[in-house]
Amino acid sequence: MIVDPLIRKLEQFEPLSPEARTALEAMPSRLREYGKGELIVEQGSSPDESAIVVKGCAFRFKRLADGERQIVALHVPGDFVDLHSFVLRPMDHSVTAACQSIIARVPHAKIAEVLKHHPHLTRNLMWDMALDAAIAREWMAAMGLRPAPEQIAHLLCEMYFRMRRAGLVRDDSFEFVLTQQDIGDLCGMSAVHVNRSLQALRARELIEMDKQRVTVLALDKLIALARFDSAYLHLIE
């Protein structure tokens, strides 16, 4: 099913009743493919539906008047991208596809209806929103506390574990489609500095990057360098 990864993620909080699961599976109403860089939701708009990543990768970003861009979230398959727009509108940021991606759209009215019949599901969705916020806090700590190479290492650790939760890590290797410019806009540093920091990580033989793929050569060392503690991701192993 389309929403299987989402259900698997939500159940990391609390198992869903079979009825709730069925209701979730019946929820998405539109499925669409987006090309790399294509806008999914625009800053300032007030969408009446929320998006789920089915395949590929999406990110959310804020843009200032002069064109500068800050990426504020990154989403892998199974993530409810803009669940918050269910209650908080207009959007304070845009959503775009980081690569060719498949996105499912769920009307807010449909969410409201499902929650009405399965009130307990509300807690699972609140958990998902809270998890999103926890990741944002961790990013703040990464930006404020860690020098550039550590910060990038931290990002790679996070994506390693999130992709693994989505079942998308094979042989310590996963798809990573952000350009160095994207990484810079995410970490708050210039693309040139990203380039040099990545070179440092490769020189230490912590990672390999080829095409749109990252291979983690020494997870323990990468975690130590990044001072990464996966607790904030609330993974269940």
In the bound complex, what is the minimum distance in angstroms from residue 40's beta carbon to DNA?
17
In the bound complex, what is the minimum distance in angstroms from residue 237's beta carbon to DNA?
31
Token couple for 102: 């498949």
Pick the closer one to DNA by CB: 122 or 195. 195
147 bridge partner residues: none
Helix or strand holding residue 195 (H, E): helix 191-203
Q: Does 199 bind DNA (CB under 7 A)?
A: yes
Token couple for 80: 């409810």
Q: Does 191 bind DNA (CB under 7 A)?
A: yes
39 bridge partner residues: 96
Choose the one of a second copy, DNA, none that binds residue 190, judging by a C-beta under 5 to 8 angstroms depending on kind.
DNA
* Euclidean distance between CA atoms 122 and 81, whole angstroms: 16
Of 102, 110, 127, 188, the one binding DNA by CB under 7 A: 188
**Cα 8-11-13 angle, rounded to 5 deg:** 135
What count of other Cβ atoms lies within 10 Å of the Cβ of residue 68? 9
Chain contacts with a second copy (rule: CB under 8 A): 13, 60, 62, 64-65, 68, 70, 72-73, 84, 86-88, 90, 92-93, 115-116, 119, 122-123, 125-127, 129-134, 136-141, 143-145, 185-188, 227, 231-232, 234
